[in-house]
Amino acid sequence: MKIGILSDTHNNPDNTRTALATFRERGIQRLIHCGDITTPPIVRLFTGWDVVFVYGNMDSDWVALMQAIRAIGAPRPQLSLEVEVGDMLIGVTHGADSNLLFRLQISGKYAYVCHGHTHQRRNEFRSAYGVRVINPGALGGNRPETRSVCILDTASGNVEFIEFPDLR
């Protein structure tokens, strides 16, 4: 299965729409959002998608975000969650809590751990724990790198970053 992973949309609807259109063009139907959504209007852009969200450190109005997420039929957001894909689990958190991120990595429970927060792409296999750690980069907020998302192919283990160099 191919899963679209995105993070740090930071209330940027244009960049979020571009990313969603790219996922749609590539036939991606399942999405993981690694936090820093920031406002309910961004959540509404995900209407019709099979998507899960985690809260980020910039997601201050949890009640409004939870209501918007519930309204589009997505599962309740949390600080971290598990996504089941076939016989494997993916751990997801935003990454602002480095202890939580580390605990997910060393748990031995997850084939993949996805996070955001740093706005920098990451695709790293932590052999000591048997886990691949993925950060798709950011679609909004500060820009240490070009805007990006990624696609995880759980069948092959391939991680493909999609960069949007023209996005602000």
**Domains of the chain with bracketed CATH:** 2-164 (3.60.21.10)
Question: No. of H helices and E strands in the chain?
Answer: 4, 10
**H helical segments located in 7-106:** 13-25, 40-44, 62-71, 98-106
pLDDT tens per residue, range 27-65: 999 999 999 999 999 999 999 999 999 999 999 999 999
Q: Position of tokens 């809590």?
A: 97
Q: Which amino acid is at 43?
A: V
**Bridge partners (DSSP) listed for residue 123:** 134
Question: What tokens appear for 139 in the block?
Answer: 């679609």
Question: What tokens appear for 123 in the block?
Answer: 């695709």
Q: Is 113 helix (H, G, I), strand (E, B) or coil?
A: strand
Q: What is the pTM of this model?
A: 0.97
